[in-house]
Structure 1
Amino acid sequence: MKIHFNRRQLVIPYGLFLVLFVIIPLGFIVYYAFTNGSTGAFSLNNFVKFFASPTSLSTLLLSIGVALLTTIVCLLIAYPVAYILARSNFKKKSVLLMLFVLPMWINFVLRINALREFLDLIGILNKAHLFNTILGMVYDFLPFMILPLYTTLIKLDKSMLEASADLGSHPIATFCKVTLPLSMPGIVSGITMVFMPTMTNYVISDTLGLGHVTIIGKFIEECFGARSDWHLGSAIALVLLMIIFVSMFVSGGFKEEDNGSRGAGLW
């Protein structure tokens, strides 16, 4: 006897998961963010408290700066790597790509602690806290930039590159006018995959920055933990969520403009 399921029935498990682990927790965050801690009445004091605090704003700006710098460094490293892999004639390209992806198979905490021991060995762990944090971010998120770039570059229509060369275009001009625009979907996908988690990752800053670099994610963790101020923590989380939504909206606009669904469908 065959059992037939329609599409709506197949969506039920996903819908339940979405409600239990996304919508309900987000509802609690919204509730705590817009209520007073003592009376439970509607209030915007949590947001006022956050934006009126120089420490909070400096932490937010530092987090954005670290995320931007990490994303830029990852892009500058990942693009040449992905380009060389995609254009090379090596038959086992997947093997080379696997060498860059292989660290992702190792536990995140183990990788960061191994990097910490290395930095301690060369004597900069207790000196360059911000540098160590950014280095750890790049080390951890670099594969997330390489993969979408490689996926896009490997699918480029070589006939367009050949046509550009046949028309007498210089290789640099071909890259700037043909390759780079066609690879924009991969660039946008990579930026999205690196920038967003970097904004909230505080384990790396704690481990490699030795507590001297406070990321906004750490500030939220302290509000829910040591400070026991869930209302302020929820307000900060919503602010961070809005920043992420804005970045997603901007990146989505770039994808539509550059026909992103063709180049970054896996991402």
Structure 2
Amino acid sequence: MGVFRFSRKQLCIPYAVFLLCFVAAPLLVVIYYAFTNGEGRFTLDNLTGFFTSPYTIGTLAYSFAIAVVTTCVCLLLAYPIAYILAGSRWKQKSVIVVMFILPMWINFTLRITALKEILTVIEGNLAFHPFLNTIIGMTYDFLPFMILPMYTTLLKLDKSLLEAAADLGAGPVQVFCKVTLPLSVPGIISGVVMVFLPAMTNYVVLDMLYNSTYIMGSLIGSFFSAYDWHNGSMIALVLLLIILVFTLVTDRYTEEDAGNRGGALL
């Protein structure tokens, strides 16, 4: 019996078919609806309507603010945790890392429902602080995605660089600012991307904690629920372009950082 051998191109065929059917084709449908009207004619009314509507611009700004604040809070909380765990000599530190991942094993709805009950006990009425509660909910949900890439990056740092910096007279603060922090930038960028992108499009947290639709994901859903495919597709396309630009910028920064690494850091 002969042995079947497949080339790399042949092995890529199933993935290419999958991408065409479930990525490219739906994207083309969204683009079609975004630039057509109810009669199927080309129009830019959906685009101009998006940028001239105070409600859509306000919703976009609110979603962006939530994503930025959530990312910053996760970064401020996650970096010290990742730094301490990576630099510690605890034999059980892997157990501590798993403890941060454990909540992800629980159903998302159950986690947010439990958080809602806790916040209700503390605040009484969640409507008093909707923005703060949203930040708390998203930070609780996305914090592990910020910790893991930074922890992995810090764990793989070449300790000889830190020792060399100390031998050259650098203090702990200088070692951190000029050696550890620059070398951990790839992990920071990975964490920022993994938190910012879902935070920008997430609407379940806000919907469950405050029952609000003042966020991009909910706005898109409301248009599609009303069978307004054209405006909904335009909003989805604009949001997709924003995410694409953000991803390209972070990728470019990561490549430049990797290219500049290797010289003197002190």
TM-score, normalising length: structure 1: 0.94
Specify the code of the residue in structure 1 equivalent to 2:121. L
Q: How does 1:193-232 map to 2 (within 5 A)?
A: 193-211=194-212, 214-225=214-225, 227-232=226-231
3-state SS of the aligned residue for 2:240?
helix
Q: For 2:236 and 2:23, how far apart are their aligned partners in 1?
A: 14
Match of residue 131 from structure 1? 132
Distance 2:13 2:53 in 1: 44
Once the two structures are superposed, the pairs formed by residues 104-253 of structure 1 within 5 Å of their partners are 104-122=104-122, 123-211=124-212, 214-225=214-225, 227-253=226-252
Unaligned 5+ residue runs, structure 2?
A: 262-266
Alpha-carbon distance between aligned partners in 2 of 1:182 and 1:124, rounded to the nearest angstrom: 44
In structure 2, distance between residues paired with 1:189 and 1:101: 17
Match in the other structure for 1:40: 40
Q: Deviations over 1:82-124 (max 9, x none)?
A: 0011000012322111000111111111111111111112225
Q: Which amino acid aligns with 1:256?
A: E
Q: 1:94 — aligned with what?
A: 94
Specify the alignment match of 1:64 in structure 2: 64
Partners of 1:142 and 1:64 in 2: how far apart? Answer: 18
**1:193-243 C-alpha deviation (Å, 9 max, x unpaired):** 0001111100001011222x6111111111111x32110011111111111
CA drift at 1:16: 1.5
1:196 is matched by which residue type in structure 2? L
Q: What 5-or-longer segments of structure 1 have no aligned partner?
A: 263-267
Alignment RMSD: 1.3
Query: What do the CA deviations read for 1:125-176 (whole angstroms, capped 9, x no partner)?
Result: 2321111111101000000000100110000000000011111111111111
Asked whether 1:55 is paired with 2:69, we answer no
CA distance in 2: counterparts of 1:257 and 1:202, whole angstroms: 34
User: How far, CA to CA, are the matches of 2:237 and 2:102 in structure 1?
Assistant: 34
CA distance in 1, matches of 2:125, 2:188: 32
TM-score for both structures, normalised by structure 2:
0.94
Runs of 4+ in 1 over 6 A off after TM superposition: none
Deviation string 1:39-82 (CA, Å, 9 cap, x unpaired) is: 21111110111111001100000100100000000000000000
Aligned to 1:265: none
Does structure 2 retain, via aligned residues, the 8 Å contact 1:149–1:187?
Answer: yes
Structure 1 CA distance, aligned partners of 2:108 and 2:256? Answer: 35
Q: For 2:211 and 2:35, locate their aligned partners in 1 and report how far apart those are by CA, in whole Å.
A: 33
Any idea what SS the aligned residue of 2:127 has? coil
Q: CA–CA distance in 2 between the matches of 1:55 and 1:155?
A: 46
Is the 8 Å Cα contact of residues 149 and 190 (structure 1) preserved in structure 2? yes
- Worse-superposed segment, 94-103 or 121-130: 121-130
Assess if the C-alpha contact under 8 Å between 1:63 and 1:216 holds in 2: yes
Distance 1:53 1:70 in 2: 26
- Structure 2 Cα separation of the partners of residues 215 and 119 of structure 1: 21
Is the deviation greater in 116-125 or in 15-24? 116-125
Partners of 1:120 and 1:126 within 8 A in 2: no
- Secondary structure of 2:170 counterpart: coil
Query: Identity of counterpart residues, as a percentage?
Result: 59
| Secondary structure of the corresponding residue to residue 258 of structure 1 | helix
